[in-house]
Amino acid sequence: MTPALALERITCTFAAREDRSKRYTAVKDTTLVVAPGEFVSVVGPTGCGKSTLLNVAAGLLWPSAGSVAVKGEPLAGINRHAGYLFQTDALMPWRNALDNVVAGLEFRGMPREQAREKGEQWLRRVGLAGFGDRYPHQLSGGMRKRVALAQTLILGPQILLMDEPFSALDIQTRQLMENELLELWSADRKSVIFITHDLEEAIALSDRVVVLSAGPETHPIGEFAIDLPRPRDVSEIRLTPHFIELHGEIWHRMKSEVLKGYAQQQR
Amino acid sequence: MRSSKDEASRRPSTKLGARRLRAYQLLLAVALLAFWQVATSPTLLPPIYFDDPNKAAFFFGEPLKAAIRIWHWFASGTIYRHLWVTLIETLLAFVIGTVSGVVVGIWLALAPTASAVFDPYIKAANAMPRVILAPVFFVWFGLGIASKVALGVTLVFFIVFFNVYQGVREVSPVVLASARMLGASPRQLLRFVYLPSAMSWVFASLHNSVGLAFVGAVVGEYLGSSEGVGYLIQQAEGVFDINTVVAGIVVLTAFALALDGIVSLVERRLMVWQPRSGDTERL
């Protein structure tokens, strides 16, 4: 089967801003293949270049070496099959919730009435019916994330790229959002790359967890299939013995890298 | 630089009630006017400083006579033509200055090379006291409306230009990336991301730019024209009629306050998406 998304031997080297001769290799020789309908989480210590990898998959960043293929086709420019959920707020502050949700449809030239109808539908699906006329600053962090989710999913992307989307939320809101994400995902099984530094979140959500090494020159150091049954409830599944077993196993592999990453941040 | 905060929140809190505050403000105005009237009237007090009782009135004017002058202007309707001219000049200067500021601001913000080339010239043009261009504009555009508009435009343009430039430069990279992922073409980015973001900075400088358009109009009229409130003041000054000068200044001030009030209204309507200070409306 053709993979939905294939990153082959990606290397990303940046020139330092102050000194052009100094180079920093964020990601080195990384291969990541996502099957259609697969939910893959990528975990790694902070500052290890996880977001860089995701930007390459999105077509926002061109790798120094390596290739990206989407459904077998080499990627040129922005990845049109992908939706991107950012870590920080990416809503347009001058548009209200509904106008934010329909922005993508508007860019594609859908008639306004039709777009708004679809937008209302999606606001309902993410639990924000009646909040369409609110501006982002009038919404809580969790609600803004829901709007962003609706904004992305309304375009029906086959690939979903998520960059620590829930890291800014409090733990209860976060678990609610994770459950909602799983529910929305199970409806049509998109391919997902979910970046996180939270191992529990990664295991609870995914089919497969990829562990990255500490930066610089980040590369995968382990892959773990998560064979927990679906549908899952993220707050309950954390307590099952198999979850704890998987957690222990992956953490064992991650621990030294996390310490390395931590030591680097101290410098 | 954003100055869209409410007037009320900027005012230091006092223990006075709103009513008593108003009363004190009114009292201050009455006291000042009364002092002015008494000190300048040739008949009420013996001359304190001047040797001739009429000199004080000659130099400082008399508030009562100025008020009567204003009354006559409005009663006879002669002032409306001049106000109208000043208003038209102000509006034209504001609109032309804003539009050109937005266009050039966006262009230079998105074209780093052009921006680098133009940088010293823009700095120089901004540093130049542009009121001095008025004589040049008189030669180019004559003594009619056009020269005043040109003067106002040079004042407004830079305010708007710098704000738009800043606004476009400071568009959140995440919002930009997000819009691109949602499928926005470069033109759509300009229209749906850069422009709204820049407009928020334009609105933040709205009070300043309308004020400067007004300054351009009045100064232009004052320096050479046949119509407008600035012209009235200049004419009165020519015959040492201080009362009419004072009356003109009062009318101009009231006019400026009215313009500022309209700007505040427009601002409040158009900037609903921006949180106001102390705005706790969250759900």
DSSP state, B191? I
Contact call for B177 and A155, based on CB within 8 A:
no
Whether chain B has a CB inside 8 Å of the CB on A109: the answer is: no
| Cβ atoms of residues A22 and A15 within 8 Å | yes
Chain A residues in contact with B283 (beta carbon < 8 A): 131, 134, 138-140, 143
| Cβ atoms of residues A164 and A52 within 8 Å | no
Whether chain A has a CB inside 8 Å of the CB on B282: the answer is: yes
Contact call for A94 and B185, based on CB within 8 A:
no
Number of C-alpha atoms within 13 angstroms, CB side, residue A103? 33
| Cβ atoms of residues A177 and A142 within 8 Å | yes
| Cβ atoms of residues B183 and A107 within 8 Å | yes
A74 is written with which tokens?
Answer: 């080499």
What percentage of chain B exceeds 70 in pLDDT? 88
Instruction: Report the C-alpha gap between B199 and A82 in whole angstroms.
Output: 30
Locate the DSSP E strands across B174-273.
none
DSSP state, B13? P
Instruction: Report the C-alpha gap between B27 and A146 in whole angstroms.
Output: 56
Chain B residues in contact with A164 (beta carbon < 8 A): none
Summarised one tens digit per residue, pLDDT across range B20-55 is 889 999 999 999 988 888 877 777 666 666 777 677
**CB nearest B273 (choices: A94, A131, A152):** A94
Contact call for A92 and B272, based on CB within 8 A:
no
Quote the pLDDT of residue B283: 40
B165: left (phi over 0), alpha (psi -120 to 50) or beta: alpha
Contact call for A90 and B178, based on CB within 8 A:
yes
Contact call for B281 and A103, based on CB within 8 A:
no
Going edge to edge, which strands form the sheet with A73-74? Answer: A23-34, A5-15, A65-70, A73-74
Nearest CA in chain B to A107: B184
**What ipTM is given for this predicted complex?**
0.86
Quote the pLDDT of residue A229: 87
Determine the 3-state secondary structure of A170 from DSSP: coil
Whether chain B has a CB inside 8 Å of the CB on A135: the answer is: yes
Determine the 3-state secondary structure of A247 from DSSP: helix
Instruction: Report the C-alpha gap between B181 and B175 in whole angstroms.
Output: 10
Nearest CA in chain A to B185: A107
Q: Which range (A82-86, A195-199, A234-238, B59-63) has the least confidence?
A: B59-63
Summarised one tens digit per residue, pLDDT across range A26-76 is 888 889 999 999 999 999 877 777 888 899 999 999 999 889 999 888 888
Contact call for B174 and A89, based on CB within 8 A:
yes
Chain B residues in contact with A144 (beta carbon < 8 A): none
Query: Is the overall model pTM greater than 0.90, yes or no?
Result: no
Which residues, listed in sequence order, are joined to residue A39 by a DSSP beta bridge? Answer: A192
**CB nearest B182 (choices: A93, A107, A131):** A107
Instruction: Report the C-alpha gap between A101 and B43 in whole angstroms.
Output: 75
From the CA of A107, how many Å to the nearest CA of chain B? 5
Q: Is the pLDDT of residue B282 over 50?
A: no
Instruction: Report the C-alpha gap between B247 and B72 in whole angstroms.
Output: 11
Measuring CA to CA, how many Å separate A143 from each of A86, A131, A134? 14, 9, 10
| Cβ atoms of residues B63 and B246 within 8 Å | yes
**CB nearest A90 (choices: B174, B185, B200):** B174
Cβ-based contacts under 8 A for chains A and B: 83
Pairwise pLDDT comparison (A140 vs B3), residue with the higher score = A140
Mutate to test the interface with B, among A94, A137, A173 (most CBs of B within 10 A): A94
From the CA of B225, how many Å to the nearest CA of chain A? 43
Average pLDDT, chain A: 88
